[in-house]
A and B are shown apart, each in its own frame.
Chain A
Amino acid sequence: MSENETMAVYCGGITKSYGIGEARVQALRGIDLEVHPGELLMLVGPSGCGKTTLISVIAGILDQDDGECVLFGQDLKQLSHNQRVVYRGRNIGFVFQAFNLIPTLSAAENVAIPLLINGMPMDKAISRAFECLRNVGLEGRENALPSQLSGGQQQRVAIARALVHNPRLVVCDEPTSALDHETGRRVMDVIKNLAVNSDRALVIVTHDARIFDFADRIAHMDDGRIEKVERNN
């Protein structure tokens, strides 16, 4: 087994630019990064430094111009469009800054979506969603609509949705930026306790310094490059 295959994420020399001609913006300028299973890595840096672009490439929803991105031994560029979509559905969980819960669906239905996408019948998916919502402390709120939940509760629903299908990689984009300090830390507690295990890796994009202490390692980015990666003590 090669070293790449034992890693959760291996990025080597990744570049990405947007636009053409004078409007061309180089978002990533040769990113080298490794994330190990069981690790919580935070990508931090100022706005526009390329964090979101990098997480999009890692999550397989954006093609890099150059370089290699390997998830658990699978080079995503080797997969066809449909294969990559299916790979994403089975192996990656998403937590978004704005939660992105479907407003017309209940909490349980929102959580069940990744399972339904993967072909699980509705009743089984809902049953599993109830279980996940219990795990994030939302027992009794399963049938509530997102609008009936607080910001912290909505983010916990989003976390349950990201974990319900037991993905090997969870990517979170600014998971606490829409929350107050205390709620943000509670949400991070949930993420740390439920999402991190020896088979799974977490990559969190944030500029919220108040939650840096939850990271195992922190990768500092600036101007499309990783400036340094430091281990959190």
Chain B
Amino acid sequence: MFRIALKMLFGDRGKYLGIITGIALSSILMIQQPGILISIFTTMYSFITDIGLPDVWVMDPKVQFIDDSKPLLDTQLYRVRGVKGVEWAVPLYKGSQRVRMDNGETVGCNMLGLDDASLIGGPAIMIQGKLADLHQPDAVIVDEAGAKGRLAKPSSTPGGKSTPLQVGDSLEINDKRAVVVGIARATKTFQSQPIIYTTYTRAKNFALSERKLLSYILVKAKANESPQAVARRITKETGMAARTADEFKSMSLWYIIENTSIITNFGFVVLVGFIVGAAVTGQIFYNFTLDNLRYFGVFKAMGATDRMLRWMILLQALLVGGVGFGIGAGLVATFAAATRDSSDLTLKLNWQLLTGSGLAVLLIVLLAALISVRKVLKLEPAEVFK
């Protein structure tokens, strides 16, 4: 009877396509918006993710999230190095600098000053050049999105196409010359500013006007020490805040969530997607059942049990749910793949999001099936003679 149930469904092509479309649109809303939200969240702590080597980040106790760095005195680095359980500790400068372009415009950039000796905190993926090239005079490495986008060399003719930065090109940062020695791939930041990597010492030169320049101290715990324990010890002995990378990510994320209405706004759209999906799908599916009510009555008269009818309707609901969700998720995934390399905000899909939206669609079709099943089970088989 399951094949019969499916043929009944496919045979009513208009309603079948209507239900599928409703579920697909609902799925798109429920996947795409959280996908963008995940992408935004990822960018909020992308610096922490990209700098994967250290276990613990040490910072001013007043820091609330990654972009809220409050400079420390350089001497704090030596205090941290003296804490038991610290394998190594290196400085990290993170600040904003302005780059003057050839046409006179200035572009705000994120500058990362890495430990001169180890270059810890440098980009993991180099598109052009090598990380070690930062040891060359005036060297900087620029992220790929920035090199192709806001730091691209403007055209000499008005309206002309700009040329991406290349290795060997020079930049002017705070009236100081910098030479591009590499192009790196980095996760986009929340502010979508270009990222410039250089050494800690050179970063201090680029930012001479600032008195204190040490943004973070990156710490590696010894092999036999837990990062959490080392972080607690650093806090206790130095008075500075020390957090594991995961704690710092979580703190940055919660700061944004608590201080913006981002979750409310995205959540509202997701809720609308769910309600629209449930309403449209439920209504069309219920209408489909009503249209076939006479035939379900015939099945009942002919000896179809309630269990059999329940499964027939459930199968129809699960099938339209599966196909609709597949189409919706497929379209969003295609869109995500097509815009993956865009410099704008992209869409990130993960298994948690797909599972969650899949369960929401399952709930929608189960609700639709439940309403339909109730109608069919309450139907008197004697109705078929009327």
Contact = CB atoms under 8 A, between A and B. Distances in A.
Contacts of B303: 85-90, 92, 114, 117-118
B305 interface: yes
A61 B295 contact: no
Interface in A188-216: none
Provide the main secondary structure of the chain B interface: helix
Interface residues of A, number: 30
A150 interface: no
A103 B3 CA distance: 15
A128 to B, nearest CB: 15
B298 A52 contact: no
Interface in B344-386: 380-382, 384-386
B8 A52 contact: no
B323 to A, nearest CB: 17
Contacts of A62: 380-382
Interface string A2-25: 000000000000000000000000
Interface in B8-32: 8, 10-12
B301 interface: yes
B294 interface: yes
A116 B385 contact: no
B299 interface: yes
Contacts of B3: 122
B39 to A, nearest CB: 44
B1 A173 contact: no
20 contacts: A52-B385, A61-B381, A61-B382, A61-B384, A62-B380, A85-B305, A85-B306, A86-B303, A88-B302, A88-B303, A89-B302, A96-B384, A96-B385, A97-B385, A100-B294, A103-B11, A104-B10, A113-B1, A113-B4, A173-B385
Interface of B: 1, 3-4, 7-8, 10-12, 294-295, 298-306, 308, 380-382, 384-386
Going nearest first, the 5 A-B pairs with the smallest beta carbon separation are A89-B303, A104-B11, A61-B381, A62-B382, A56-B382
